Amino acid sequence: MHVAIPLYPRFTALDAVGPYTVLAFAPGWTVTFVAAEPGPVTDDQGTLTLTATASYAELPRPDVIVVPGGPGTLEAVSDEALLEWLRQAHEHTRWTTSVCSGSFVLAAAGLLKGLKATSHWAILDMLREHGAEPVSERVVTQGKVVTAAGVSAGIDMALTLLGQATDATTAQAVQLAIEYDPRPPFNAGSPKTAPEGLPELALKLIS
């Protein structure tokens, strides 16, 4: 199973690295970072760089696509090279997925029309403007299109995907291998549970 993760300037690192770590651990799975041209791509903090080792043209038919989100989504939704690659590759994928605001890139490529989808809570409702039906869930599966909520949800999405593609035992083995046993120190990971005023503070961090 060959997974392609497209990179674009100012992506959020965990959006890409979370699913990468899960899927790269799976036996028989290969994960490749791709971009319009091979080379380094820097994240939204300007301090972490991942290297795309292949161009879109060199990997036209991956089995799985994982589109990360991040502030760079604002430009990525107008990146015709990326969008056209997504449209053509999607015709042959087994799964086409996104993390966080990466769902807006899928929407810009026309892949979410009429589908339920999720994204980061701060922009979730905006999916409606792009032809999708927003759903406040950690992972949303619509046929072969799978979207994940904000940032850390990409790990959940990748494990879900791995369970569907292989079997529960394999997915569980990977989960144990990476010791994914989340026990957050605060019950503040969702606007539904966060203390009053915290969503506004969180928005300042990501705006």
Hey, which residues are catalytic here?
A: 100
CA distance 125 to 53: 35
The long-range contacts involving 189-196, CB below 8 angstroms and separated by at least 24 positions, are: 189/152, 190/121, 191/121
CA distance 92 to 131: 22
**Helices within the chain (DSSP H only):** 13-25, 73-76, 80-90, 102-108, 153-165, 168-177, 198-206
How wide is the angle at C-alpha 41 spanned by C-alphas 39 and 44, nearest 5°? 175
CA distance 107 to 118: 11
CA distance 105 to 12: 14
50 bridge partner residues: 41
CA distance 83 to 65: 12
